[in-house]
Amino acid sequence: MAEPEKDAVLATVSGVTAARELSPDSKFYYVNTLHAGVTAFDLGLTFGRLVQRTETMAVAQDQCEIRMSPQFFKLVVAQMQKMIGAYEAQFGAVSVADKPPEEIKAAFEKALRAPNA
């Protein structure tokens, strides 16, 4: 097996190097909706994108589903908390829904009308 590229190496622990590479089947998704599900054996996240909005209905199109063990899920959550902490340290606090609902609705509707939304 070839040595991994320097940028692909994540860590070396106890003599074992962890590296990553991009699969040829890898896909990019922009998502802005989330559905979470739980079974006795795993946790699932279904990510989607809003594709239509009316006064009475919002339609989200599922883009991908990811299922994992509860143990791995807990590690993912911890990593995401580190990531948002680093982001906020560099760029400032991220606020969620800090605008009045009517302003959020107007921005959402504008985004839906934008080309390639």
Q: What is the pLDDT of residues 9-61, one digit of tens each?
A: 666 767 777 787 888 898 999 999 999 999 999 999 999 999 888 878 888 89
Question: Which pLDDT belongs to residue 103?
Answer: 79
Scan for tokens 């680093």, then name that residue: 86
Closest alpha carbon to 45 in 55, 33, 37, 54: 37
Residue with token string 């599900």: 37
Count, residues in the chain: 117
How far from chain centre, in Å, is Cα 67? 13
pTM value > 0.75: no
Looking at residue 29, what DSSP letter applies?
A: -
- Per-residue pLDDT of 75-98, as tens digits, reads 999 999 999 999 999 999 988 777
Domain extents in the chain: 28-113
